[in-house]
């Protein structure tokens, strides 16, 4: 499907240059927040998982207000709408953090845990390597804290949830994945195509979880950490 974009490939990468030059060294801080979110998830407790939710909320708030509203809107008016929905996603994570019985994350060696870990590694490590292979050099490079790698990372963390996580939390990341995939295809941004696979992985895990006979026993074995 061909979509006429209101900006060119050069415009798109120029935004990355402006963003990276302007916010440096925030990229390092954002990467550190993501690593800390993973560390908290490995704590396997409700208190630590609240911290993970807060950090995810901060990342999505940054993408909405700083990247979309502050930079991407300069070449695409739709970015103001994206800013609103990213801020809304940040609010959903904040609500999860404040719930009396919050969702607990626990990385583990089952299918969902391994898939989640794979997506986390994809967002934090493999994605920037794919960008380099594609010939994109800093500052004309999508760094962590920008929507595509951060959305991949978010999907990975969400797959570590022990409890049934509200499906509403996936809606905006899935919508963004669809939008970003169209843009990536149109502009030939190969590394962003990895975002296309992320919601597919999540959907497959959902299907397998709903039919797997060990799902209830997994929740029972890990209930003590809540």
* Contacts of 225 by beta carbon, 8 Å cutoff, 6+ apart: 44, 45, 46, 104, 106, 162
Q: What is the pLDDT of residues 99-158, one digit of tens each?
A: 988 999 999 999 999 999 999 999 999 999 999 998 999 999 999 999 999 999 999 999
Q: Is the bond preceding 179 in cis, omega lying within 30 degrees of 0?
A: no
pTM of the entire predicted model: 0.91
Distance linking the first and last C-alpha atoms of the chain: 46
At 213 the pLDDT is 52
Q: What is d(CA 167, CA 95) in angstroms, rounded to the nearest whole number?
A: 14
Token pair of 178 as six digits: 């669809």
Encode pLDDT of 72-94 as tens digits: 999 999 999 999 999 999 999 99
Q: What separation in angstroms does the CA of 158 have from each of 164, 165, 186? A: 10, 8, 29
Q: Average pLDDT of the chain?
A: 91
Residue 221: what pLDDT? 47
User: How far apart are alpha carbons 120 and 171 in whole angstroms?
Assistant: 19
Q: Which two tokens stand for residue 51?
A: 């911290």
Which pLDDT score, from 0 to 100, does residue 225 have?
Answer: 53
Give the residue from 218, 161, 170, 221 showing the smallest Cα distance to 198.
170
Q: Is 144 helix (H, G, I), strand (E, B) or coil?
A: strand
């Amino acid at each position: 499907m061909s979509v006429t974009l209101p900006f060119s490939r050069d415009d798109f990468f120029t935004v990355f240059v402006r963003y990276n030059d302007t916010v440096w060294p925030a990229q390092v801080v954002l990467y550190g927040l993501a690593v800390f979110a993973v560390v908290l998830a490995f704590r396997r407790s409700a208190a630590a998982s609240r911290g993970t939710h807060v950090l995810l909320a901060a990342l999505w708030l940054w993408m909405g207000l700083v990247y979309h509203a502050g930079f991407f809107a300069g070449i695409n008016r739709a970015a103001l709408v994206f800013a609103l929905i990213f801020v809304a996603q940040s609010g959903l994570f904040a609500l999860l953090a404040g719930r009396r019985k919050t969702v607990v994350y626990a990385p583990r060696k089952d299918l969902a845990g391994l898939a989640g870990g794979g997506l986390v590694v994809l967002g934090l490590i493999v994605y920037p390597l794919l960008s380099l292979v594609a010939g994109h050099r800093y500052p004309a490079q999508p760094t962590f804290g920008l929507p595509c790698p951060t959305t991949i990372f978010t999907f990975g963390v969400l797959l570590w949830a022990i409890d049934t996580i509200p499906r509403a939390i996936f809606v905006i990341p899935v919508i963004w994945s669809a939008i970003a995939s169209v843009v990536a295809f149109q502009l030939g941004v190969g590394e962003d195509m990895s975002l296309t696979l992320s919601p597919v992985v999540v959907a497959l895990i959902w299907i397998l979880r709903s039919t797997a006979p060990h799902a209830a026993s997994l929740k029972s074995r890990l209930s003590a950490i809540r």
